[in-house]
């Protein structure tokens, strides 16, 4: 099957999902991100790589944090950035997605960053754009959120470089999380031998064990001796009906408290993709504690997005 993300030479052309990306591409993104980590600590927080290029953030669904990090990443690469919140723009006047895209192409956009609540929206745009334009999926429905998955894996690799010797637990709303699938794929591709998911049965997708993970329904069993705890956000806005009794009840069973974290390895790190629901999935003492790397994740998110844009934009001339 042709992978729409790769060009005929096997180079990254679009970033739509981590699924199907070979290990060499994942490693290339992570290694390139290493070169960008230091840029923000310099006098001049910019490199001239995307000078003269135009990056368009098309957000059909609101996500201030993701949009901001893509905007900062593009600007640190010296690109010009246009932000379009389509929810409040011409789509409400009846324009189709591809008409919106065609208009932006006519304005000489070089790269699209797309967020949509429907799975496959970024794929649709990637198939539609001409060869010299790249598309980055910034989250589509429940399907994928590849840059979040990459930045999480990058964070794991920075703190725990020996990935062939790790036990990683993903905790919480796996069912609605577009990050969880991206992460499971990236972790297993990069050689992490043991990925666990810990969640109530109602928040696990059917056949989740086919992704190569071990399934737990009890925090006390699942967290035992893990090196990395990845908390997921309760996606209350994506939930319908009574999947959970109540937030308090959820916290009691699946919230990460210092007591539960003590079951993991003493040097385990705690991650969260944000925004956090304090007191629902994570205790403030853990979120602000010594083992938390939640804010470094945000910092690394910029480096990862810079790396993806830099890899996509080069070598097209």
Partner 1 sequence: MQLPDPEILLNDITAKIKALVITDTALVGIHSGGVWIMQRILGTLGNIPHGTLDAALYRDDYAQRGLKNEPKPPNILFDVQGKHIILIDDIFYTGRTTRAAMNELFDYGRPASITLAVLINRGGAELPIAPQIVGAELMLNPNQDLQLSQDIKGKLHLGIKNG
The residues that touch partner 1, with contacts defined as CB under 8 A, are 11, 28, 31-32, 34-35, 37-39, 42-44, 46-49, 310-311, 314-317
**Least distance from C-beta 55 to partner 1, angstroms?**
15
**Least distance from C-beta 39 to partner 1, angstroms?**
8
Phi, psi at 37, each rounded to 5°: -60, -40
Task: List b or e across 13-48, with b for residues whose CB sees 16 or more CB atoms inside 10 angstroms.
Answer: bbbbbbbebeeebbebbbebbeebbebeeeeeeebe
- For residues 42 and 164, which CB has a smaller minimum distance to partner 1 in the complex? 42
| The two structure tokens encoding residue 309 | 């844009």
- For residues 76 and 167, which CB has a smaller minimum distance to partner 1 in the complex? 76
**Least distance from C-beta 138 to partner 1, angstroms?**
21
- For residues 9 and 92, which CB has a smaller minimum distance to partner 1 in the complex? 9
**Least distance from C-beta 209 to partner 1, angstroms?**
35
Inter-residue contact 123 to 4 (CB < 8 Å): yes
**Least distance from C-beta 146 to partner 1, angstroms?**
18
| Beta-carbon-side half-sphere exposure of residue 314 (alpha carbons within 13 Å) | 11
Q: Where are the alpha helices (DSSP H) in 10-96?
A: 23-37, 64-76
CA separation for the pair 184, 179 (Å, rounded): 9
**Least distance from C-beta 257 to partner 1, angstroms?**
37
CA separation for the pair 212, 63 (Å, rounded): 30
Facing residues of 270 across strands?
229, 292
- For residues 35 and 253, which CB has a smaller minimum distance to partner 1 in the complex? 35
């Amino acid at each position: 099957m042709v992978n729409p993300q790769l060009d005929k030479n096997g180079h990254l052309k679009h970033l739509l999902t981590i699924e199907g990306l070979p290990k060499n591409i994942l490693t290339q993104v992570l290694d390139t991100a290493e070169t960008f980590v230091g840029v923000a600590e310099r006098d001049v927080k910019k490199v001239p790589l995307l000078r003269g290029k135009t990056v368009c953030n098309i957000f059909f669904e609101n996500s201030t944090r993701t949009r901001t990090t893509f905007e900062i990443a593009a600007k640190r690469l010296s690109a010009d950035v246009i932000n379009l919140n389509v929810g409040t723009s011409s789509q409400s006047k009846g324009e189709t997605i591809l008409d919106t895209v065609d208009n932006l192409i006519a304005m000489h956009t070089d790269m699209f960053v797309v967020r949509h609540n429907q799975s496959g929206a970024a794929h649709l745009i990637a198939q539609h754009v001409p060869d010299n334009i790249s598309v980055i999926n910034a989250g589509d429905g429940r399907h994928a959120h590849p840059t979040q998955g990459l930045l999480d894996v990058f964070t794991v690799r920075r703190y725990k470089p020996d990935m062939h010797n790790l036990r990683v637990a993903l905790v919480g709303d796996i069912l609605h999380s577009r990050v969880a699938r991206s992460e499971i794929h990236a972790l297993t591709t990069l050689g992490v031998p043991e990925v666990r998911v810990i969640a109530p049965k109602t928040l696990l997708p059917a056949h989740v064990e086919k992704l190569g993970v071990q399934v737990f329904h009890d925090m006390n069993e699942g967290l035992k001796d893990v090196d990395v705890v990845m908390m997921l956000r309760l996606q209350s806005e994506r939930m319908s009906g009574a999947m959970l009794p109540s937030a308090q009840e959820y916290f009691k069973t699946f919230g990460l408290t210092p007591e539960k974290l003590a079951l993991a390895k003493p040097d385990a790190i705690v991650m969260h993709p944000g925004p956090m629901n304090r007191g629902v999935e994570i205790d403030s003492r853990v979120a602000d504690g010594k083992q938390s790397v939640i804010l470094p994740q945000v910092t690394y998110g910029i480096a990862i997005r810079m790396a993806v844009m830099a890899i996509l934009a080069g070598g097209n001339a």
